[in-house]
Structure 1
Amino acid sequence: MEVSVEFRLLGQVEAEHNGVPVALGRRGERRLLGVLLLLAGQAVTVDRLASLLWDDAPPASARTSLQAHVSRLRRRLDPDGNGTSGVRLISQHGGYGVEVDPAHVDAHRFRLAVDTARGIDDLMARSSALRSAIGLWKGPLLAGVASDRLRERVGADLIDLRLSAMELAVETDLSLGRHQKVVGELGVLAAEHPTRERFTAQLITALFRCGRQHEALDAYERLRVRLANELGVDPDPDLQRLRAALLRHDTGLRLTAGQSATPTPAQLPADILGFVGRRDALDQLDALLSTSVQEPTAVVICAMSGTAGVGKTALAVHWAHRVADRFPGGELYVNLHGFDATRSATSPTEALRGFLDALGVPPQRIPGSLDGQVCLYRSLLAGQKILVVLDNARDVDQVRPLLPSSAGCLAVVTSRNELSGLVAAQGANLLTLDPLSQPEAHHLLMRRLGAGRLAREPAAVDKIVARCAGLPLALAIVAARAATRPGFPLELLATELHDADSVLDPLAVGSADTDVRTVFSWSYRVLSPEAARLFRLLGLHPGPDVSLHAAASLAGITRQQVRPLLAELSQAHLVTEQNFGRYTLHDLLRAYAIELTRSNDDAAERRAATGRQLDHYLHTACAATRLMDPHRVAIALSPPRAGVILEDLSGADAALAWLVCERRVLLAAIHQAGAGFEAHVWQLAWAVASFLHRQGHGEDLLAVERRALDAAMRLTDPIGVAHSHNGLGLAYFVLDQEDKAQLHLEEALVAYGRIGDHGGQACAHLNLGAVLDRHGQHGAALRHAEQASTLFRMAGQRRGEARALSGIAWSRAKLGDHRSALEDCRLALTLYAQLPDRHGEAAAWDTLGSIHRQLGAYDEAVTCYQRAVRLSREAGERQREAAGLTKLGDTHQAAGDPAAAGIAWRQSLTLLAELNHPEADQVRTKLLATVNPVTS
């Protein structure tokens, strides 16, 4: 018997006959078919069927209705009556059953695929097999026709198998070092399935490996509170032990030696649920893989272009997920925001920094110049097979620095412009994406609404497709509206679309009767008033994404009030929860929101919302700075406006995690703050300066401090001017532009003097000393450090005084005055011990060790370096810890103890290898020399 019917139950109940959708009739008929297919091979009595289909309350006409359903299904599935469809509905033993090959029912294929995947030993192959199996699910089991009770009765084991497969897939990916890839997915799974505590355990592990310990602890606490409130129980003992390991930074939570030591980048956004069509484009993209095999020395590049909203990102991301297993080195992704109406395009420097972070490069290793970053990036990709997706590019110049240069890598670039320049210079393949064809658009709607609903109103469907102009974004919004109101006739929706007369000129596609704004306005008008207001105000947010707390502040409402509003916007496809708890708008929708708020909200309301938004970021950023650097003298702030909701930061780890997550938003807020918010600009720059410096974001630091100085000078705010000059001096110093650094630091000295800020003057002196020390002017550096010490003492800033003493000791040691340097170092250590300040204390012990070593006092040097290493380890500063271990080994070697030197160097090498630091090779050479000494 030739089989030609394929059935889908993992989502909407659907069938295809030789690739053509089969109309399965009304809801009752599809529900009956779904139950029989799940129970294929069994004879189900009429009484049991009636109980299942009507949730234990069948009507008196149940038997008659069942007979009618079966009769109609037989005609639909085998219209010719020749039995060649491969499926038979049979009557037997007082009931009904289905004869069908299980391989042609997705639910049964899923079972087999999971069983097969469990037996695969190779981790990458197992992950790919499990992900492929899970991908068969396109929504809830028997979506649109089954109640929760029916699913529980006929599909509980299948639903549990899906969750078990997800747990195993995530566990496999964690073993492969793909914690960055799965952390977002786990956030959703842990929230949706709190009683499956393994998801939370996996989330905690992934967050820890991503350097987000505070969020890991938060995940545990959320589960603990939920279990206590809903079930009156505590998390299971394994999860409690995991929390304890997290608190003590247990190395067992890290990747083991048998797992990937270097992180595998996994930056792709989530795949599009229900992606349809684009067969020709997918074939062209698939052909690129063959090209890379045929030309093994070349980098393959695809430049994909098309109009706004045509689905370039969806296609690129969908294809990237399909072929991800062909790129064991991982996937890099960046949204370049080339056409964003509310923010400047992403610079190559910012994009490269994101790539280098994902590739595991420590901040201290990242060069300050663009050329240096490009060289490092391409060196890291050499010999790797990595997929690079550069989304929403403005022009060729924005793209070129981000292209890989090594064979085996493949780059996909999307843009509204045809990037023909990539063809001439890089040999790129051009792919122009047109709007969906009418059949593809129909298929998209069918996947969202079901074939039966479309079959009942074919003329209305044609009108909707025509009005949406083949744009997937518009069709998705229409489908969302229709899906939430299953009883709403499609003809009414089509008429409303046709009669809408608004025109969004910049975003019109073709003629006025194929206008994207029509769809947006139609979806917007059915929102609740509160959700509509929030959507409008989101147009004022700088992007690229917004947290729940920030959205609440923008609207001036509570967290509890904003949650359902964001859910409403998400269900209407007006915002997307791109990552767990963070929401973003498509650039077309952002432009539409801006237009709406300008026409619906008066200037006072918009200004108040902007003020609340900036207050949220300013006060949270300052709180984060205080937690990370408690001894830094805070600036005076005005109280936050009413309605501002601040983030909950419980400690330094949480503060760092928040700053890392919000960095791009904070930079955008600083650059986009308009007239009347100049104080926010320089104060925000002050708040993030230390973070940007420590994380190696020199270009970002320079950009925000320039903006800060301009804002402070417009305000004629002497405090802001002084801080901004000092910040600019630091930025130029970080970027190796010492002349400009010195100029601004000297201006800062004068400005701090005018306002009588002794602590500020002292900081400027110390920074000037660092500039001069780099030029070898150790005498001048010493004088600045001594002035800083006096000024810090006058200001009563003991931590600053300790820093100045460390600077004095360093300069005196450089000048050969080791005994005075020793005394200064000991004084600094006395002050640090009283604060306490492990970061500063570790640096002082390191300096003291260097002085003792120069004097030949190796025992004392060893003691100092051991203290410095221990303090660095406690402070979580792994690179400083590694540097201290290297110096400790050098000291042991100089003292004639090669065995102790080898121990210290091996510990250093372990850390440097984990950090992917270039000094690892130097330490490795020292170890080899110890094992194989050269004799004369």
Structure 2
Amino acid sequence: MVRSRCGGVVEFCLLGEVAARSTGGPVDLGPSMQRCVLAALAVDVGRVVPVGRIVERVWGSEPPPRARATLSSYISRLRAALPEAPIVWRSGGYLLDVPREDVDLHRFRALVRAGDVAGALALRHGEPLTGLDSDWARTERELLRQELLGAELDLVDDRLRQGRGEGLVADLAGLVAAHPLDERLAGQYLLALYRAGRSADALEHFQRVRLGLRDQLGADPGEPLRELHRRVLAADPGLDPEPAPGAGVPRQLPAAPEPFVGRRDELARLDELDGTAVISSIAGVGGIGKTWLALHWAHHNAHRFPDGQLFVDLRGFGPRADQVDPATAVRGFLEALGVDRDRIPVEPHAQTALFRTTVADRRMLLVVDNAADTGQVVPLLPGTRSCTVLVTSRSRLPGLVTRHGARPVPLDVLTAAEARALLVRRLGADRVDAEPEAVAELIARCGGFPLALGIIAGRARSTPGASLAAAAAELRDLGLTALDDGDPAASLPDVLRWSYRALTAEQAAVFALLGIAPGPTTDLRAAASLTGLPTGRAAAALRGLHQASLVDLDSAGRYRMHDLVRAYAAERANEHLSADERSAALRRAVDFYLHTAHAGDVVLDPHRNPVRLEDAAPDCVPVSLADDNAALAWFEAEHACLLAAQQTAAAEGRHLAVWHLAWALSTFHKRTGRSADQITVWQSTLTATEHLADPTARIQAHRHLGREYSVTERHDEALRHLHAALELTDQDPVQQAVTHWALAWAWEMRGGNQQALEHAFHALALHERMDDPIGQAITLNQVGWYQARMGDFEQAREHCEAALALHRKHDNRDGQANTLDSLGYVHHHTARYDDAIAHYSEAVTLYREQGDTYEIASTLNRLAQTHAARGDATAARAAWQEALALYQSQQRTADADNVRRQLAEPPR
């Protein structure tokens, strides 16, 4: 076994002298006690071994006085010798953190479980744990000897089943001499001697075993050995090997496509196949590498199937006329198995029965490639569990999984690292390293599709003088057309075309619309609105697309298309749907996101003045969101789609929807600290307002941009936008008041508390004249906050307490939290630390209930300062650490740096 691990340690050897081998050769592990420590960890690789157990394994039940210190020294030396195989301290013990298959003992056991006894025994290289002399090592060595002997006898049984005999006699003689009383071995030796024409020797050996058992154990041989003795005496013809079928052992596997990279997890799942799980259905969209994986695994495991390997390409996704009828495939299998054509029945069901009879009890591999559906595969399934069947299909074949116990092995795209490795293997490291930017673009645009990468690499290899930058430019300019290689089997558009043609009309329409849907993913409810279908029919169509591997379904119930598949779907939408059909679908999709987001924003901030929406399009069914948690979860899940919906609305000329989507996202963006996204959606709105008569949209766009530029410390731009908003508010006191509130915020961010207070008083006066209690409460708190910032704590407390009373009267939780934070600040600066902590803590609780992570961070920072002033360094540190994590996630760099400085200071 050789397994490359980035140039580090590749194998730990226990089935011989304890050692570690790297790609460069053996690793010096030092003295035997140090190697014993490694063995004690390697037998339990991947698991924590308590220190006491390691000590007992190395030194026995009476360890030396400084055993634990010595153990620590050994561990340090092993870590230095094995830098690529970390030995980790965890929970009272040590753990060797490498894959189990990197230890020959565990690889040996896995191969035995999988039926590959010959492969398992090939790992043996001497006596187990040679050179170790602890009590544990001696006991473990004896157990491993028994395991190895059991595997040897399993291999002998396999060879006897294959009809062998004479060639086994010499090998068995040595084992018999070492284990003279092992009855299983004795039986194998008797049968081998009999098949070698040495019946007398077989009978004589039975007598020796019988006498040995009586003398040493006082027992007679067991019934199986006695029965074999009687059959040898009777020259039972059943002991003779069966004649091999006429055509010999079939070896039908095509050559494995090269090079092969990645797929470690999928290969491991296939390695786990044993007699109880005989079918593995490998599904994935065309070009994802299903046949590539199946043939690679089949060739590397052919030795596990001594009775042969059968292969058929059912051509399930080519033209229907080219698809292979199951009866044709069965006849081909029967002929490969040596069945005379005259014996093959005419009726398909009789052919299948003969096929199953012929392969019963044989250890064979069947690779059934490119199946269209379960019905095409079932006639090819053996009737016993001695065979393994690999089925590849673009369909997920749910019938094969549910009714026949197939193990699904779905394939995803290659990782960026695997894609690069594929290009290196095809083009050479020098050529790939020479153009890193072009390679990065090719990998990104191919999206991990093995077929796409193979097409690009094939062209580059055939034109060694051409640059990879030119290939990247062609892919950038031509898209899928650049991956049309002429050969239908090696053309990504052709591969996708056959999958598309296998869809029903409704599935094809849904597939096309998903190609132009806003956002990278969709859920069932959004898809129903996009397509205009009832939810049940939309769900059925999506299931069909998922079974066809044209969409992926994640654990959250969201459907996603690979970028290249999405591009193909978009081409189908433009080709097969009219402009009106596409526009109507996009209107339904945008309205779904807009009306659901608007309702969610009202849930998050019920006191905000809502905008008035146009009616939703027919067949658009928005989601009802019950509470803050449901609304926040929906916004989080759909955020990328909401941003895309606004861009779709802009492209469709729906300028009012552009504004209303920005409005509906504002509370969520503010609570979660998404300033960059807030700027993006309001910048789009500002552009859209050029087409809107209502000045309110332009006022709001300038005001929200001003606020977010303040947050991101772009103060000049902030004031420019806010003054532009104020100039537009002469006839609208509501907008005027809110804009003064935003100007106060901007001046605070800039450090101008006096200017901030003046704008806050302007806003308060306007709200009082409008008899707007919520607006009045908000600006009372704002006035109090700036008074506190300027040191007028008594006036600040009076204004904030009046604000808190109004907020509580009208159940405005957001306003309550903001005002409690202000009062915490006032009490902190008047040395009333207990009151400050109480107010800050209540504010944080309210913010948490609303999911307002932006304000949570700010209040936690102030709470930490109060804990520190009160002398509670532990509580201060905990609050600062949580605030720092939030600041970092929100890209609030200056705030994060300030907290780091606080944490770096020694506690007082």
Taking structure 2 as the reference length, what is the TM-score of the superposition?
Answer: 0.51
CA contact (8 A) 2:518 2:645 kept: yes
Residue 303 (1) aligns with residue 442 (2): no
CA contact (8 A) 1:29 1:69 kept: no
CA contact (8 A) 2:857 2:884 kept: no
Aligned to 1:384: none
Deviation, 1:635, is: 0.5
User: What letter matches 2:790 in structure 1?
Assistant: L
User: What letter matches 2:689 in structure 1?
Assistant: A
User: What letter matches 1:548 in structure 2?
Assistant: L
Residue 850 (1) aligns with residue 821 (2): no
Residue 740 (1) aligns with residue 717 (2): yes
Taking the TM superposition and a 5 Å limit, the aligned residue runs for 1:379-778 are 506-507=481-482, 509-511=484-486, 516-577=492-553, 580-672=556-648, 673-754=650-731, 756=732, 758-778=733-753
Aligned counterparts of 1:910 and 1:796: Cα–Cα separation in 2? 43
From 811, 817, 822, the counterpart of 2:797:
822
Q: Secondary structure at the match of 2:518?
A: coil
CA contact (8 A) 2:675 2:711 kept: yes
CA contact (8 A) 2:597 2:664 kept: yes
Q: Secondary structure at the match of 2:625?
A: coil
Aligned counterparts of 1:721 and 1:417: Cα–Cα separation in 2? 52
Q: Secondary structure at the match of 1:647?
A: coil
Aligned counterparts of 2:668 and 2:738: Cα–Cα separation in 1? 17
Count residues in correspondence.
559
From 764, 767, 774, the counterpart of 1:799:
774
CA contact (8 A) 1:805 1:828 kept: yes
Cα offsets for 1:127-159 (capped at 9, x unmatched): xxxxxxxxx99899x9899795664xxx9xxx8
> Residues 880 and 616 of structure 1: is their aligned pair in 2 closer, same or farther, counting only changes over 3 Å?
closer
Aligned counterparts of 2:735 and 2:459: Cα–Cα separation in 1? 49
CA contact (8 A) 2:519 2:642 kept: no
> Residues 574 and 308 of structure 1: is their aligned pair in 2 closer, same or farther, counting only changes over 3 Å?
farther
- 916-925 or 617-626, larger mean C-alpha shift: 916-925
Taking the TM superposition and a 5 Å limit, the aligned residue runs for 1:108-147 are none
Aligned counterparts of 1:580 and 1:923: Cα–Cα separation in 2? 40
Aligned to 2:422: 281
Aligned to 2:907: 929
Aligned to 1:313: 448
> Residues 281 and 512 of structure 1: is their aligned pair in 2 closer, same or farther, counting only changes over 3 Å?
closer
> Residues 272 and 702 of structure 1: is their aligned pair in 2 closer, same or farther, counting only changes over 3 Å?
closer
Cα offsets for 1:562-621 (capped at 9, x unmatched): 111112223334333356432233444434444443443333333222221111111111
Q: Secondary structure at the match of 1:23?
A: strand
Deviation, 1:712, is: 1.6
CA contact (8 A) 1:628 1:655 kept: yes
Aligned to 2:310: 23
Q: Secondary structure at the match of 1:612?
A: helix
> Residues 149 and 924 of structure 1: is their aligned pair in 2 closer, same or farther, counting only changes over 3 Å?
same
> Residues 515 and 886 of structure 1: is their aligned pair in 2 closer, same or farther, counting only changes over 3 Å?
closer
Cα offsets for 1:853-895 (capped at 9, x unmatched): 333445544554454345445545567557556645644665x
CA contact (8 A) 2:671 2:851 kept: no
Q: What's the % identity of the aligned pairs?
A: 29
> Residues 314 and 921 of structure 1: is their aligned pair in 2 closer, same or farther, counting only changes over 3 Å?
same
Deviation, 1:824, is: 0.6
Aligned counterparts of 2:726 and 2:811: Cα–Cα separation in 1? 28
> Residues 633 and 285 of structure 1: is their aligned pair in 2 closer, same or farther, counting only changes over 3 Å?
farther
Q: Secondary structure at the match of 2:907?
A: helix
User: What letter matches 2:579 in structure 1?
Assistant: A
User: What letter matches 1:804 in structure 2?
Assistant: T
Aligned counterparts of 2:327 and 2:694: Cα–Cα separation in 1? 72
Deviation, 1:557, is: 1.9
CA contact (8 A) 2:672 2:851 kept: no
CA contact (8 A) 1:886 1:923 kept: no
Aligned counterparts of 1:147 and 1:702: Cα–Cα separation in 2? 49
From 11, 20, 23, the counterpart of 2:280:
11
CA contact (8 A) 2:814 2:847 kept: yes
Runs of 5+ consecutive residues of structure 1 not aligned to the other structure? 35-59, 80-95, 108-135, 167-184, 186-269, 293-299, 320-413, 419-427, 434-470, 472-502, 931-936
CA contact (8 A) 1:869 1:885 kept: yes
Cα offsets for 1:628-650 (capped at 9, x unmatched): 22221100111211110212422
User: What letter matches 1:644 in structure 2?
Assistant: C
Deviation, 1:827, is: 0.7
Deviation, 1:512, is: 8.9
User: What letter matches 1:642 in structure 2?
Assistant: P
CA contact (8 A) 1:792 1:798 kept: yes
CA contact (8 A) 1:702 1:728 kept: yes
Runs of 5+ consecutive residues of structure 2 not aligned to the other structure? 1-116, 120-248, 254-269, 283-293, 303-307, 313-324, 334-346, 367-382, 461-466, 889-895
Aligned counterparts of 1:531 and 1:807: Cα–Cα separation in 2? 56
> Residues 880 and 724 of structure 1: is their aligned pair in 2 closer, same or farther, counting only changes over 3 Å?
closer
From 809, 813, 830, the counterpart of 1:838:
813
- Which has the greater radius of gyration? 2
Aligned counterparts of 1:912 and 1:633: Cα–Cα separation in 2? 31
> Residues 284 and 431 of structure 1: is their aligned pair in 2 closer, same or farther, counting only changes over 3 Å?
farther
User: What letter matches 2:737 in structure 1?
Assistant: A
Q: Secondary structure at the match of 2:713?
A: coil
Q: Secondary structure at the match of 1:644?
A: coil
CA contact (8 A) 1:305 1:312 kept: no
Deviation, 1:830, is: 0.7
Q: Secondary structure at the match of 2:822?
A: helix
Q: Secondary structure at the match of 1:716?
A: coil
- 631-640 or 1-10, larger mean C-alpha shift: 1-10
Taking the TM superposition and a 5 Å limit, the aligned residue runs for 1:173-252 are none
- 715-724 or 15-24, larger mean C-alpha shift: 15-24
Cα offsets for 1:671-702 (capped at 9, x unmatched): 23335411111111121133223333323222
CA contact (8 A) 2:592 2:620 kept: yes
CA contact (8 A) 1:620 1:646 kept: yes
Aligned to 1:176: none
Deviation, 1:534, is: 2.1
Aligned to 1:908: 879
Cα offsets for 1:247-284 (capped at 9, x unmatched): xxxxxxxxxxxxxxxxxxxxxxx735999x99972885
> Residues 18 and 73 of structure 1: is their aligned pair in 2 closer, same or farther, counting only changes over 3 Å?
farther
Aligned counterparts of 1:916 and 1:707: Cα–Cα separation in 2? 26
User: What letter matches 1:679 in structure 2?
Assistant: L
User: What letter matches 1:23 in structure 2?
Assistant: L
Aligned counterparts of 2:740 and 2:646: Cα–Cα separation in 1? 27
